[in-house]
Amino acid sequence: MFKIFDNNTFEALSKQWNIFVLVGNGFDISVLTQFKSGKMAGKTSSYPDFYDYISYFNLPKKDNILYKMMQEDKVKGKKNWSDFENTIRELLDSSMDKNFKELENSVDEFQSYFTKFLNDLVDADILLKLNEEVRKNKLSIQSLGEFLKDLDDLNNLKLIKKLSHYQLFNFVFANFNYTSLLDNYIFLDKSQFDPHVYKTIDTNFEFKFKLPGLNETNYSSYIILDTIHPHGVQDTPRSILFGTDLEQYDKSKNKEKRFVKAYWSQYDAKYKSYLEGADLFIIYGMSLGLSDAWWMDAIYDEIIKRKVELIIYKFGKYEKDEVINNFMNGCIRHRDSSEEEKKEVKNNIHVVVFNSNDTYFLGFKKK
C-alpha cells in the first residue's frame, strides 16, 4: 500500500497525492528503438522479435505445444504479446485434464527462453546509454513534474483544481516489464534531485502545468517514488510470469488457476491496496488486453467508488474514444454494468495519443 506521510517527515506538507502508474512493454520498445545499440541492435522486446530469436537459435523443444501454436499464429498474422497470452488462454480452454501439465511445462520453458532473449537484448551498452541520456537531459524529473502538460484537455481534469503548494506527489510505478529499463529511467539521481535543496523550507520538487491561455503554474512540492515488478524480473527467471486472466475460477481446486496471473502474483494481497489508495492512475505502453483485465477492472471499480481519474498514454494512430473503448473492453468483470455507470467511468478517463517519443511523460525529448 501507499505509505502515508505527515509533517514529521515533510515539515510543510499540506496534502498527499498517491499516483499509481502502470507501464507495459511499449516503454521498453521505445527505449530499444531510441538507442538501437548493443548485441541485438535494432531489435526490441516485441513479440515478433522474440519469436524470431527463439526460432533462430532453435530453443523450443519440438513437442512444446505453446511454440506449435505460435507457429500457427505467425501464419495467421498475430504479432502482439496480447496475442501470445490469448493463445495461452485458448490452449487452456481446449485442454482436457490430462493436458494441463503439458501446457504448464510448455509455459514454464518459456521463462528460460525469455531470460536468454532479454539478457542478449538489454545489455550494459543499452543501460549505460539510457542512463546518460536521462541524466544529461533530466528526463526523470521532467517526466514526474510536468506530465500534465501532455494533456490537451487539462481543464477537464478534476484533480487540477485541488493542486497547491507544499503537496506531496507519491508515485508508485508498476513495471510490468521484466527489465530494469523503466527503473533506470525514473531513478532520481543527484544531478536531478536533492532531497533538501532549500535553506528555509524542505520542499524538494517542482510540479508544473499550464492551463490554456494562462502562464505556467509552478508549485513548490515534495516527491517520493517507488517501483514494483508484479510479473517478475529477468534476473530471476522463475519469477517471469506468463499467463492470462479469468473472470471466475476456483482458487482451491481448479487447475486453471495455475495459468492465472492474478493468482500467482497474489494481486489481491500485494497490490489491491495500491489501487484502493491511488488518487490518480496513469497507464503507459500497455495493450489493455484481456490478460491484464484484473488491473483494468480494479481501476474501473475505484473510478466508480471514489471518482478518481485515469490518464492513458497510447502510441500510434488512434482516436481517443477508441483508446477508451479498448480500456472498457478489457474490464471483463464489468461487461454487464449499466450504460450509465460505464459513461461515468469514460468521463473520468483522459487520453494522450502520440506518434513519437517526445511526450513529457517517459519521453526522450528535453522540453
Residue-wise pLDDT for 195-217, tens only, equals: 999 999 999 999 999 999 999 99
CB 98 within 8 A of CB 110: no
Residue 184 has pLDDT above 70, yes or no: yes
CB 230 within 8 A of CB 240: no
Q: Greatest CA span in the chain, whole angstroms?
A: 70
User: Treating both helix axes as pointing N-terminal to C-terminal, what angle do 139-146 and 124-137 enclose, rounded to 10 degrees?
Assistant: 60
Cell triple for 329: 473492453
> What pLDDT, on the 0 to 100 scale, is given for residue 103?
85
| Strand partners of residue 211 | none
Query: Is 111 inside any structural domain?
Result: no
CB 83 within 8 A of CB 71: no
Burial environment of residue 339 by CB neighbours within 10 A (0 to 12, 13 to 18, 19 or more) = exposed
* Vertex 230: Cα angle to 45 and 177 (nearest 5): 10
Range of the domain at 154: 15-45+122-230+265-354
Distance CA 73, CA 61 (A): 18
One DSSP character per residue, 156-223 reads G-GGGGG--TTEEEEEEEEE-SSSSHHHHHH---TTT--TT--SS----EEEEE--TTSPPEEEEEEE
Query: Is 257 inside any structural domain?
Result: no
Query: Is 50 inside any structural domain?
Result: no
Distance CA 15, CA 34 (A): 37
Tell me what the mean pLDDT of segment 177-188 comes to: 98
Residue 150 has pLDDT above 70, yes or no: yes
Distance CA 135, CA 121 (A): 22
> What pLDDT, on the 0 to 100 scale, is given for residue 104?
85
Count of structural domains within the chain: 1
Residue 266 has pLDDT above 70, yes or no: yes
Task: Give the CA distances from residue 338 to residues 154, 156, 199, 334, in Å, rounded to whole numbers and listed in that order.
Answer: 28, 24, 54, 9
Distance CA 364, CA 367 (A): 9
Query: Is 144 inside any structural domain?
Result: yes
Query: Is 25 inside any structural domain?
Result: yes
Query: Is 94 inside any structural domain?
Result: no
* Vertex 237: Cα angle to 58 and 140 (nearest 5): 110
Query: Is 64 inside any structural domain?
Result: no
> What pLDDT, on the 0 to 100 scale, is given for residue 250?
62
Tell me what the mean pLDDT of segment 131-136 comes to: 97
What is the share, in percent, of the chain residues with pLDDT greater than 70?
A: 96
Cell triple for 243: 499467463
What is the dihedral sign for C-alpha 96, 77, 61, 116?
A: negative
In tens, the pLDDT along 68-87 reads 989 999 898 888 888 888 88
- The number of residues in the chain equals 367
Query: Is 335 inside any structural domain?
Result: yes
In tens, the pLDDT along 97-133 reads 557 788 888 889 999 999 999 999 999 999 999 999 9
Predicted model pTM: 0.94
**Number of Cα atoms under 13 Å in the Cβ half of residue 85:** 19
Q: Are strands 280-284 and 309-315 parallel, antiparallel or unpaired?
A: parallel
pLDDT band at 149 (very low <50, low <70, confident <90, very high): very high
Cell triple for 103: 501446457
Residue 24 has pLDDT above 80, yes or no: yes
In tens, the pLDDT along 29-54 reads 999 999 988 889 999 999 999 999 99
> What pLDDT, on the 0 to 100 scale, is given for residue 295?
96
